[in-house]
Chain A
Amino acid sequence: MRIRSPSDFWCGLLFIVVGIAFVVLARNYRLGTPARMGPGFFPTILGGILAALGLTLAIPALLRDGDALAFPRLRPIMAILVAIMVFALLLAPLGFVLAAAALILIAGLAEPELRPLENVGLTLFLIAFSVVIFVVALGLPMNLWPDL
Chain B
Amino acid sequence: MRVAAGLLCALLAVACGSPVQAQSYPTKPLRLIVPYAPGGFADVAARIVAEKLQQRLGQQVIVENRSGGNGFIGTTAGAKASPDGYTLLVAHTGEFAVSPAVFKDIPFELERDFESITMISIAPLLVAANAKSPIQSIPDLIKTAKAKPNAVGMGTPGTASINHLAGEWFADAAGIKLLHVPYKGGAPAGVAVAAGEVPMGVMAISSVMAQIQAGRVKPLAVTTAKRSAQYKDWPTLQEVGNVKDVDASIWTGLFAPKGTPKPILDRLHAEMVAILAMPDVREKFAQGGADTGGMSPAEFVAIIKREAAAYRTIVEKANIKPE
Residues in A lying within 8 Å of B, measured CB to CB: 29-30, 38-39, 139, 141, 144-148
Q: A139-B62, A141-B62 are in contact. Are A147 and B6 (CB under 8 A)?
A: yes
Q: A141-B31, A141-B62, A141-B64 are in contact. Are A148 and B323 (CB under 8 A)?
A: no
Q: A29-B323, A38-B323, A39-B323 are in contact. Are A148 and B64 (CB under 8 A)?
A: no
- The residue of chain A having its C-beta at the shortest distance from the C-beta of B33 within the complex is A141
- The B1-32 residues at the A interface (CB cut-off 8 A) are 2-3, 6-7, 10, 31
Task: Report chain A residues within 8 Å CB of B3.
Answer: 145-146, 148
Choice from A30, A145, A146, A147 contacting B323 with Cβ under 8 Å: A30
Once bound together, how far apart are the Cα atoms of A39 and B323, in whole Å?
A: 9
Do residues B62 and A148 form an inter-chain contact, with CB atoms below 8 A? no
Task: Report chain B residues within 8 Å CB of A141.
Answer: 31, 62, 64
Do residues B2 and A145 form an inter-chain contact, with CB atoms below 8 A? yes
- The residue of chain B having its C-beta at the shortest distance from the C-beta of A148 within the complex is B6
Do residues A148 and B31 form an inter-chain contact, with CB atoms below 8 A? no
Query: Could you list some 15 contacts between A and B, CB below 8 A?
Result: A29-B323, A30-B323, A39-B323, A139-B62, A141-B31, A141-B62, A141-B64, A144-B2, A145-B2, A145-B3, A145-B6, A147-B6, A148-B3, A148-B6, A148-B10
B236 to A: closest C-beta gap in Å: 34
Task: Report chain A residues within 8 Å CB of B323.
Answer: 29-30, 38-39
Task: Report chain B residues within 8 Å CB of A148.
Answer: 3, 6-7, 10
- The B107-166 residues at the A interface (CB cut-off 8 A) are none
9 closest A-B pairs by CB: A145-B3, A148-B6, A141-B64, A148-B7, A148-B10, A30-B323, A141-B62, A145-B2, A144-B2
Task: Report chain B residues within 8 Å CB of A144.
Answer: 2
Task: Report chain B residues within 8 Å CB of A38.
Answer: 323
B66 to A: closest C-beta gap in Å: 9
B236-274 CB contact bits vs A (8 Å, 1 = yes)?
000000000000000000000000000000000000000
Task: Report chain A residues within 8 Å CB of B7.
Answer: 148
Once bound together, how far apart are the Cα atoms of A127 and B6, in whole Å?
A: 21
Task: Report chain B residues within 8 Å CB of A146.
Answer: 3
Once bound together, how far apart are the Cα atoms of A104 and B106, in whole Å?
A: 38
Task: Report chain B residues within 8 Å CB of A147.
Answer: 6
Task: Report chain A residues within 8 Å CB of B31.
Answer: 141
Once bound together, how far apart are the Cα atoms of A147 and B62, in whole Å?
A: 17
Once bound together, how far apart are the Cα atoms of A141 and B60, in whole Å?
A: 12
Task: Report chain A residues within 8 Å CB of B2.
Answer: 144-145
B320 to A: closest C-beta gap in Å: 15
- The residue of chain B having its C-beta at the shortest distance from the C-beta of A146 within the complex is B3
- The B186-232 residues at the A interface (CB cut-off 8 A) are none
Once bound together, how far apart are the Cα atoms of A38 and B31, in whole Å?
A: 41
Known: A38-B323, A141-B62. 16 other contacts (CB 8 A): A29-B323, A30-B323, A39-B323, A139-B62, A141-B31, A141-B64, A144-B2, A145-B2, A145-B3, A145-B6, A146-B3, A147-B6, A148-B3, A148-B6, A148-B7, A148-B10
A132 to B: closest C-beta gap in Å: 15
Once bound together, how far apart are the Cα atoms of A54 and B323, in whole Å?
A: 31
Once bound together, how far apart are the Cα atoms of A144 and B6, in whole Å?
A: 12
A83 to B: closest C-beta gap in Å: 24
Once bound together, how far apart are the Cα atoms of A38 and B322, in whole Å?
A: 11
B11 to A: closest C-beta gap in Å: 9
B64 to A: closest C-beta gap in Å: 5
B225 to A: closest C-beta gap in Å: 36
A136 to B: closest C-beta gap in Å: 12
Task: Report chain B residues within 8 Å CB of A145.
Answer: 2-3, 6
Task: Report chain A residues within 8 Å CB of B10.
Answer: 148
- The residue of chain B having its C-beta at the shortest distance from the C-beta of A28 within the complex is B323
Task: Report chain B residues within 8 Å CB of A29.
Answer: 323
Once bound together, how far apart are the Cα atoms of A141 and B3, in whole Å?
A: 16
B159 to A: closest C-beta gap in Å: 11
Once bound together, how far apart are the Cα atoms of A146 and B7, in whole Å?
A: 10
A44 to B: closest C-beta gap in Å: 15
A34 to B: closest C-beta gap in Å: 18
- The residue of chain A having its C-beta at the shortest distance from the C-beta of B63 within the complex is A141
B37 to A: closest C-beta gap in Å: 15
B305 to A: closest C-beta gap in Å: 32
